[in-house]
Structure 1
Amino acid sequence: MPTESPTILVIDDDPDIVRAATLLLERNAMRVLGAADPDAAWVRLAEGSVDAILLDLNFARGRTSGEEGFRLLDRLIAADRNAVVVVVTGHSGIAVAVQAMRGGASDFVIKPWSNERLLATVQRAVALRRAKLAAAPAPAGEEALLLLGEAPAIEAARGLIGRVGPTDASVLLTGPPGSGKTLAAQLLHRASLRAERPLETLDAAVADLPTIAARVAAAAGGTLLIEAVDQLAPALQPELARRLGGLRVLSTSRCDRAGTRAALSDDLRFRLNTVEIDLPPLAGRGNDALLLARHFCALYAGRYGQPLRPLTEEAARAIAADSWPDGVHGLRQAIERAVLLGSGAAIDVSALGLVLPEDTLEPRAIKADLNLGRSEAALVAAALKRHAFNVSRAAAELGLTRAALYRRMAKYGL
């Protein structure tokens, strides 16, 4: 094994299984992360890449179909084409394990396992992962691309990305701002045979003829992503359609299907919409906002060298109830602010910039703003209001001394 210690993610709802795997693998110079369910697994993956994944296929007692595990396996492979997954199954689940291998798993281990067998299997998995990365390394410094969520529309979008990503088919992505259109486009490019070639972006809203010519030339042999294609000037549409030969073309639109079709010339529309993928607003995705929030907590804690702090129950309820008018972008910014500016052992409502007015149980998101001065002012004002301007209590909540809070109050005119 290389001198760098590999990291193994064990996804199993049985803590004894996670503990046993951890003891064995850590004795053999490996780092082990545990996750009790798929949601926890995505949080772990947000913290950084792993060299191999041990995946139990069932997360509820008495279940043997592996249905939940198969869904997670599909998502792991779709999120990272170089992922190496070893499924873990009981004696009666060999047929299920073989089915999982057909779905992309690299190997399987039977419970109760032999330590020698498990160790050898994990070592092979790590070697396979590193061989894959050596053959097709991920771009340096790029975070994992994950289209997270359990909403049916997101499941459908992931399925389409998995099916058409490896092809050269043109894809039109529609949906409101912050719904994940650009992320989906990046995943389509990452899954394609052109993944090592450029992914160039053309902002149709401000494009002119020289810009179109430059972006098309830069994308030669790769993929051209046309952002806000519905806003491209009608006079430029025939010229763009004429220049798209030899490229893989992806495009996004904030309009619905009918609006996008009405905004495009026939020639350009036929060139762009071989496959259409519609992405829903975050407010229409059920519990996905909370799943994404926990993902972003881990992502930014790692990025800024902060401890990974959980969400309080009140914060989790507020996130789930909020309408998030700015979509995933707004949620992401709120979590980033909370990681940067929050204090205490957990992330609470005030750190998120959410308020719970007395006249309603529905939270209202403070407008997403990454200016740290304005964000701090909003957090200080919210804490003071919540404690009826009791400076001692507000300072304690914010993790400040009374003097430090008074300085901030003076600074922001509070």
Structure 2
Amino acid sequence: MQILCIDDDADIVQAAGLIARRKGMQLTGAENPQVAWSLLAEQRFDLILLDLNFARGNTSGEEGFRMLTDLTAADPHAVVIVITGHSGINIAVEAMRAGASDFVIKPWSNDTLASKLERAATLARARYRSSFSPEEAATPLLLGEDSAIKRIRTLITRIAPTAAPVLITGPAGAGKSLTAQLVHRRSALNENPLIRLPAHADLDEASISSALEQARGGTVLLDNVVELPRALHPWLAARLEGMRIIATARGERGMVRAALDADLLYRLNTIEIEVPSLKERCADKALLARHFVERFSRRHGVPVRTLSDEALGAILADDWPDEVRGLQQAIERAVLLAGGEEIVVADLGIDSSHAPDAPLRAGAADLNLDRTERRLIEAALDRHRFNISRAAEELGLTRAALYRRMAKHGL
């Protein structure tokens, strides 16, 4: 049983680790959400211990609640025990309502924490068995620290349990289908199958009617709905009754709206989710790459290799025109072809023409990850005229985390 403890107090992490080991469990510590997401990208954890207050002297639980929301949105099966002080009991109760499985008050007794870990382990095993498949249960969905991805996870948490139609737009390969599946998995209709209807120019009324009949009482996924012949739009709009509708469409929101008949658009876009391109999620590239290395190493039964600094620099520099799907394919190829303990640039098969910053790969000095991080922070600060809150949101960091990184880089 693998436990992730997210707490900035090293003594708390050490104490929890000792109790976990006595119960035959392994505990890994993370001092902040950014480290936690990196670890979650590399392996699956059965339980999560989450401190509700990371910043010294902060007792509001704001950071912890934000992390709790992100964790449960990323993995609906997550088992989370929140940690709080005596003065935070009311906050812990609110956290239970927000998706936490249990809470523990510090200072705790060893027996109390041991008992809560055992109960949580039983719950985690039950949830794992009831999930769709071992691989799906092990995969953190919509992984990322980008502010747009965080907003999508929060939106899914709010709207998935409703019956509202959802229109998901974005580039090909960015994760629209994955987003649709997550909305369905968290809905009240998730026991019924998600009926996928791929739209294309040759689709006829009979084929559509058959799919809609199968989806009656459940959910239909209109995949790439803009490819449906325009003449069928009013006909389809009149028949979307008695089911939940999730639609995906390739392209920017404005383009998609213009391509759809007004009646059909009205039936589809009660809620709109726009999935960003990977180019807009630069800070997530390393996180996703490490996750895919772990995932494909496990799938193909090969040793888990590390990404060399040069390979990681190339991944950060590339535009990834095929989006997350392209990164996933490149990492799977690299996992299979790598000959040493590290994945190197040649293993990735990246087309150098896709990288606008070719000099970044020219020498080791320019591939330094600290320099890359500094450039990202400087660019965000410049764009937002040193508004720390806005720059932190763009970078997917808390204000405190951004201040720490600015101090690290002398900014």
Q: TM-score, normalised by structure 1?
A: 0.77
Query: Does 1:140 pair with 2:133?
Result: yes
Q: Distance in 1 between matches of 2:43 and 2:287?
A: 17
Tell me which structure has the larger Cα radius of gyration: 1
Closer, same or farther in 2 for the Cα pair 1:43/1:152, shift >3 Å?
closer
Please point out which of 69, 74, 97 is paired with 1:74.
69
Distance 1:229 1:201 in 2: 11
Q: After superposition, where does 1:196-275 map in structure 2 within 5 Å?
A: 196-206=191-201, 207-275=203-271
Kept in 2, the 8 Å contact 1:253–1:260? The answer is: yes
C-alpha deviations, 1:23-70, integer Å up to 9, x for none? 322322334444454345445545665442211335566665544332
Aligned partners of 1:296 and 1:336 also within 8 Å = yes
Matched, 1:171 2:169: no
Query: In 2 relative to 1, CA 235–356 (structure 1 residues): closer, same or farther, beyond 3 Å?
Result: closer
SS at match of 2:295: helix
Segment drifting more, 198-207 vs 351-360 = 351-360
| 1:370 corresponds to | none
Does residue 335 in structure 1 map to residue 335 in structure 2?
Answer: no
Residue in 1 that maps onto 2:285: 289
Structure 1 residues 363 and 69: CA distance shift in structure 2, 3 A: farther
The corresponding residue for 2:358 is: 360
Q: 1:250 to 1:53 in 2, by over 3 A?
A: same
The one-character-per-residue Cα deviations of 1:345-393 (angstroms, maximum 9, x if unpaired) are 22232222247799931459xxxxxxxxxxxxxxxxxxxxxxxxxxxxx
Whether the 8 Å CA contact 2:43–2:291 is kept in 1: the answer is: no
1:68 and 1:353 map into 2 onto residues whose CA distance is 39
Name the structure 2 match of 1:321: 317
Deviation at 1:132, TM superposition (A): 5.2
Moved more, 182-191 or 123-132: 123-132
Aligned counterparts of 2:318 and 2:42: Cα–Cα separation in 1? 25
Partners of 2:3 and 2:49 within 8 A in 1: yes
Q: 1:362 to 1:355 in 2, by over 3 A?
A: farther
Does the 8 A contact of 1:59 with 1:68 survive in 2? yes
Report the Cα distance in structure 2 between the residues aligned to 1:330 and 1:247, rounded to whole angstroms: 33
Contact 1:181–1:252 (CA under 8 A) maintained in structure 2: yes
Distance (whole Å) between structure 1 residues aligned to residue 304 and residue 87 of structure 2: 38
* Superposed CA offset, 1:102-150 (max 9, x none): 432222223343210110111222234455567xx22134523511222
SS of the aligned residue for 2:195 comes to strand
Aligned counterpart, 1:83: 78
TM-score between the two structures when normalised by the length of structure 2: 0.77
Determine the structure 2 residue equivalent to 1:156: 151
C-alpha separation in 2, matches of 1:11 and 1:309: 25
After alignment, is 167-176 or 345-354 more displaced? 345-354
Shift of the 304–153 alpha-carbon distance from structure 1 to 2, 3 Å rule, reads same
Range 295-304 or range 44-53, more displaced: 44-53
Note the C-alpha offset of 1:230: 0.9
The answer to which of 152-161 and 23-32 deviates more is: 23-32
**Taking CA–CA contacts closer than 8 Å with sequence separation of 6 or more, which of the two structures ends up with the larger relative contact order?**
2
Return the letter of the residue paired with 2:358: T
In 2, the alpha carbon distance for the partners of 1:303 and 1:40 equals: 25
In the alignment, structure 2 segments of 5+ residues that lack a partner are 363-411
The DSSP-based 3-state class of the residue aligned with 1:361 is helix
Give the aligned partner of residue 391 of structure 1. Answer: none
Go from structure 1 to structure 2 and tell me whether the alpha carbon gap of 1:112 and 1:298 turns closer, same or farther (over 3 Å shift). Answer: farther
Residue 162 of structure 1 deviates from its aligned partner by 1.2
Aligned 8 A contact 1:237 1:264 in 2: yes
CA contact (8 A) 2:41 2:287 kept: no
Tell me, yes or no, if the aligned pair for 2:170 and 2:253 is still in contact at 8 Å. Answer: no
Residue aligned with 1:250, SS: strand
Other structure's SS at 2:190 match: coil
Q: Which amino acid aligns with 2:50?
A: L
What do residues 213-255 of structure 1 show as CA deviations (whole Å, max 9, x unaligned)? 2322222322111111111101222332233211111111113
Counterpart residue identity of residue 132, structure 2: P
Letter of the 2:133 counterpart: A
1:310-338 deviation digits (Å, cap 9, x = unpaired)? 32222222222221111111111111112
Equivalent AA in structure 1 for residue 188 of structure 2: L
